[in-house]
Chain A
Amino acid sequence: MSSVTRTISALLGACALAACGGHTGANEGAAAPTPASAQGEAAAIAKARADSIRYPYTAADVHFMQGMIGHHSQAIAMASWAPSHGASASVQRLAERIINAQQDEIATMQQWLTDRRQTVPEAKAGPMKMMMNGKEQEMLMPGMLTAEQMHELDLARGPGFDRLFLADMIQHHKGAVSMVQDLFGTYGAAQDELTFKFASDVNVDQTTEIARMERMLTAFSLEHRAQ
């Protein structure tokens, strides 16, 4: 896993050197609209400004969004097993919230990519197809579970599922957080307001959830060791 992480980071770093498009910030004040058609012009100015104000986005931004769609999809697949695999009420609530949150975020990422005319990956949980040295290769984004890990989780039931789910999801979330850190550490990345906000939200939400899951695991372990 760690070698894959390093490879992906290197890849993202390389891509980032080539800006993918967008315009530099347009900071000049627009002319005030005339009253007669103020409504339409105001809306047009607002829209044009919203488009033009975007700082140029880079390949790193695009790859972050594309990679995170598959990453989120796997979290949803894991969480969707909670009801059928005998998860406790607490883990079921957590899983339900993960599904709700990450489905919505996938929609946000797909919209961002569509708006920039970039390839929009479908929301599927498997490895991501990426070009490496001119060859297409399948790669897992950081923190994603291997096929073996997914199989192991799928076989677990009851408290065993709870335990494994929490441990796996902590690994999974930590990968997402590292993707944000890699993005922010890349030249020219996350200058786009939406990218910065979205990546920051992923960062804090998942960091908070990691802490929550670690506390759940601790409580779980201490409780049962005491008996």
Chain B
Amino acid sequence: MASVFRARRQVVRATVVRRSALPIAVGLLLTGACAHSTPSAMAGDGASPKVSMSATAPNPDPRVGLKAGLMDAQEAVWNLHVLSRTQPSPKFMGITNSDLAFTGPYAIQGSYAGYQVWDISNPSHPALKTAYYCPASQSDVSVYKNLLFVSGEGLTGRIDCGGEGVKDTVSKERLRGLRIFDISDISNPKNVGNVQTCRGSHTHTALVDPKDPDNVYIYISGSSRVRSPNELPGCSSADPNEDPNSALFRIEVIKVPLAHPEQAAIVSSPRIFNDLTKPARHGESEVDKAESAKEVAEAKAKGGFTATIFGEEQVLPSRFVKPMLDSAVKARGGTGEPTAADSAAVRAAIPGMIAKMIGPPPANPNAGPTQCHDITVYPEIGLAGGACEGYGLLLDISDPAHPKRLDAASDSNFSYWHSATFNNDGTKVLFSDEWGGGGQTKCRATDKHEWGADALFTIDNDKLKFQSYYKMPAPQTKFENCVAHNGSLVPIPGRDVMIQSWYQGGLSVFDWTDVAHPKEIAFFDRGPVDSTRMASGGSWSVYWYNGVMVSSEISRGLDVVELTPSAFISQNEIDAAKSVKWDYLNVQGQRKIVWPPSFALSGAYLDQLERSHGLAADKIAAARAALKSAEKASGSARSTALTQLASQIDADASGSSDGAKVQKLSESVKALAAGE
């Protein structure tokens, strides 16, 4: 079945130019696209995908105006190649696909019907290995060694994996929490344990503690309704001040003994939200602050009235000030226009007047989040990013069972902090805002750039500092649910590149190395699922795994894409990215990317220096030639050539405007010389 679809969809393919991706090659790329003939059986259906490859973002944006269709929507692709589009297995057709985890050659795709395991050894032909029927929303999946973890949140999830739902408000048949499967035989998963939790599990995060090889820890996130204590003893939705065991304002940590997963249990419920009082402030840029200060200064210069409200000095409207001026005139028994003395009196009275108007502080000043939506742990740097209702949290996870809050960010442009992604160095973190929960259309031309977007922060001394917003830039129709969603780093060495799902806004690849100016460099998008109404669909998550990017499409199945070289990403950079191999991956358990030495890696750094003019052109050309000749040589001749090259690079470093990159280049060449 799937092969038929592949054949009909790949009717147009871009020519890939090997080993020549720098600006010189752009002309080739622009003219290199060629259309293959459309298979006759499919001719005339008007569903040919649009393919564009260019050095600059295509204009007009080909994502605008794509034809709708569930399985035959028109497509727009830029700097990516779609390797495969695979429909769900029959039993999973028409049911929401959710998140992804990877182990060995397999992609495990969650679904509200259970999960499907795809063998992606050949990413052009994913093969279904297992379709495990066990309905639950959202079936968020993680994998570690022989264990698979699946989240259940909805009211209909059943312990027996039945599909009939659970009608009773209190029932012993209901499963809300974490299911644990032994996948030693991945064709026959065995449900070896369940951990029920008070609020179910919307998402979860597997934390592998480098210091604890016998256990894996699972952080449970989810802000759904607290269960009745009659259904799960001990569950309480009372204010924690009244009931210290309240399931609100805490996360749950489950410890899973690897040798005895059936003994998995909650070991702690850290209250990481206590005493959060900072009001939601827009993460203002310096430009915004200057603009706002200018407005206030101008108003003051004209004799206007200002007051500090929510920490911002603001201009008071005349309809608020005028009655005060009038009463000042009246108070001294005068008539007509207010005098300077009247104005001064009003100015002095304004703070008190405002204090009187706004009354006493509310009773519950410490209201913080009651749960997280998702937590991304990065054990190698000892940090986690918690996306928790109205806050983005930076957590210290050096003690896995007792995470501690280091800092919290809030932003009045953010509705619902959804997930976090660190850059590989751990010096930056990106938080997404799933405004409207993913079912709403937040990418229309009328929706602001900073709403339903990503907020990018630098991490400095364990503090978050706002830098910019990123949002997939192509306006979508009112029939396409679209907002920031799940993504992962793309392991381009020496740069921060990420691919991210935007539901029906498609896949967007962007570079956030310059954290104040993130820039889109590739995309893949389809037209709406339905041309007449909002129908849920689009990419739930897209993650890089062993050379390809796998996307879980809510209604269309599994897509696999790969990067094609462009002015933004060279073939060397792609090859270096593909050299990074993992045995498993849960994206919310972020792993440090380490690039093995390769000619592509050194070439990638050279390409970056050429792009940034970080090294003189003649020195780059000489280094390229030396690298090429060393690649042709072998044994000690190669090693000697590489050592010489490294010395030359070190000598060139002093004249470079990007010493750090030259240093990386030198290190990569030395590692090659050492035959590491």
Contacts and interface: CB of A to CB of B under 8 A. Distances in A.
Contacts of A147: none
B9 to A, nearest CB: 10
Interface in A39-60: 39, 42-43, 45-50, 53, 55
B582 interface: no
21 contacts: A38-B5, A39-B8, A39-B71, A90-B310, A90-B412, A93-B282, A94-B412, A101-B436, A104-B442, A158-B316, A158-B320, A184-B169, A196-B156, A197-B137, A204-B416, A205-B415, A212-B279, A212-B410, A218-B277, A220-B309, A220-B358
Given A93-B413, A208-B389, A214-B362, A200 B93 contact: no
Contacts of B362: 167, 170, 214, 217-218, 221
B115 to A, nearest CB: 15
A217 B5 contact: no
Nearest to A45: B93
A94 B565 CA distance: 43
Interface of A: prevailing SS: helix
A101 B435 CA distance: 8
B615 to A, nearest CB: 46
A215 B277 contact: yes
Most buried by B among A219, A223, A224: A224
B310 A35 contact: no
A90 B389 CA distance: 19
Given A97-B451, A198-B437, A201-B439, 9 more contacts: A45-B94, A50-B94, A101-B436, A104-B440, A163-B358, A193-B112, A196-B154, A219-B311, A221-B362
A111 B358 contact: no
A158 B438 CA distance: 35
Contact of B320 (A39, A159, A185, A204): A159
Interface of A: 24-25, 27-33, 35, 38-39, 42-43, 45-50, 53, 55, 86, 88-90, 93-94, 97, 100-101, 104-105, 107-108, 111, 157-160, 162-163, 167, 170, 180-181, 184-188, 190-191, 193, 196-198, 200-201, 203-205, 207-212, 214-225, 227
A40 to B, nearest CB: 9
Ranked 10 nearest A-B pairs via Cβ: A49-B94, A158-B320, A201-B437, A86-B317, A224-B355, A27-B163, A221-B361, A227-B351, A29-B91, A46-B94
B165 A25 contact: yes
Contact of A88 (B70, B163, B169, B312): B312
A31 to B, nearest CB: 7
Interface in B109-163: 112, 133, 135, 137, 153-156, 163
B280 interface: yes
Interface in B440-464: 440-442, 447, 451
Interface string B600-627: 0000000000000000000000000000
Interface of B: prevailing SS: loop
Contacts of B62: none
Contacts of B360: 221, 225
B369 A104 contact: no
B222 to A, nearest CB: 9
B447 to A, nearest CB: 7
B390 interface: yes
Contacts of B310: 88, 90, 216, 219-220, 223
A218 B365 contact: yes
Contacts of B156: 55, 191, 193, 196
Contact of B352 (A29, A201, A223, A227): A227
A217 B280 CA distance: 11
A25 B164 contact: yes
A190 B155 contact: yes
Contact of A43 (B70, B368, B373, B390): B70
B416 A100 contact: no
Contact of B361 (A86, A207, A218, A227): A218
B320 A157 contact: yes
A185 B1 CA distance: 43
Contacts of B441: 104
A24 B163 CA distance: 9
B225 interface: yes
B555 interface: yes
B164 A205 contact: no
Contact of A211 (B166, B369, B438): B369
Contacts of A30: 90-91, 93
A215 B310 CA distance: 10
Contacts of B282: 93
A33 B1 contact: yes
Contacts of A94: 412
A29 B391 CA distance: 42
A208 B95 contact: no
Interface in B158-194: 163-169
A97 B137 contact: no
